[in-house]
Amino acid sequence: MMVFVTALSAYATWKTAQVTNQILLTAQRPYIGVESVNLIDSTSPKVVVDLRNFGSVQAEHAVIGIVLRVNGKALPLDSEPQRQQAPVVLLPAVPHRFYRHMSGDTYRDALQGKAELVVEIQARYRGPRGDEHCYLSRDRYDPIDDFFYPQGGSLSCDQGEHPP
């Protein structure tokens, strides 16, 4: 009987350690998300995405992809001055702004509601323990409210066509 009780106690201790470890891994990881998306500046039109790390530890090796779609077609990134050259670190609670430029005509058409403007945001990143994570978001511009509304997203990078 004592052997059974000891074995049961050992199992309970092992299970408690597993649960505690899972809680720690969940609490001590980065959580990347969008704080805001804005369409700004008629002289140099762009969409500005404010990404935040809502977690308690830094996000390492972060690769951010932002694609603007106008009427369903992706704008080319060839002439974009803010193309990410290397992975970055996103610290907790600090604003991290990324942007994509567009032509003046596209800007005016989006403001007037003549063109549908969607921004697709993808962030692939790692926690300090090397655990890999992903964040996807799609936001559509509403010219009436002058605001980007969420149109979908995921915590998986394996769901269809997304930014590079």
Query: Could you write out the three-class secondary structure of 74-141?
Result: ECCCCCCCCCCCCCEEECECCCEEEEEECCHHHHHHHHCCCCCEEEEEEEEEECCCCCEEEEEEEEEE
Is there a domain that residue 8 lies in? yes
DSSP letter (8 states) at residue 28: S
Q: Are residues 63 and 140 in the same domain?
A: yes
- pTM beyond cutoff 0.85: no
Element (H or E) spanning 73, and its range? strand 73-74
- The CATH number of residue 44's host domain is 2.60.40.1400
Residue 22 in domain: yes
70 and 99 in a single domain? The answer is yes
Question: For residues 45 and 68, what is the distance between their CA atoms, to the nearest angstrom?
Answer: 12
**To the nearest whole percent, how much of the chain has pLDDT over 70?**
85
Q: Do 4 and 51 fall within a single domain?
A: no
pLDDT band of 79, cuts 50, 70, 90:
low
Tell me how many domains the chain contains.
Answer: 2
pLDDT tier, 84 (very low <50, low <70, confident <90, very high otherwise): confident
